[in-house]
Amino acid sequence: MLSLYTNLSARLNRDEKGATAVEYGIMVALIAVVIIAAVALLGGYLNDSFQGINCQINTPATPKWDTALNAGAGGCKA
């Protein structure tokens, strides 16, 4: 019984700050990889979405059949 207490006490008293720092470093690296992958996968879609919103905000409200006024919409699809 005494050896069990001694073994448990030795395990609890060990200094594991270095291992904890390494574990946090690995977690931060994995989170960064996930963020980079998400931006790479969604970047084009988000860019197209924001371009469409920008065109809707900046394009004057004209009828769709009036292509002469929509021709100069700054690269927006008519």
Would you say 73 and 55 are in contact if contact means Cβ atoms under 8 Å apart?
yes
The lowest-confidence range among 10-14, 22-26, 46-50 is 10-14
Gap between the Cα atoms of 23 and 7, Å rounded: 25
Residue type, 35: I
pTM for the full predicted model = 0.45
The tokens of 49 are what? 């979405």
Neighbours of 6 (CB within 10 A): 10
**Local confidence band at 78 (pLDDT 50, 70, 90 cut-offs):** low
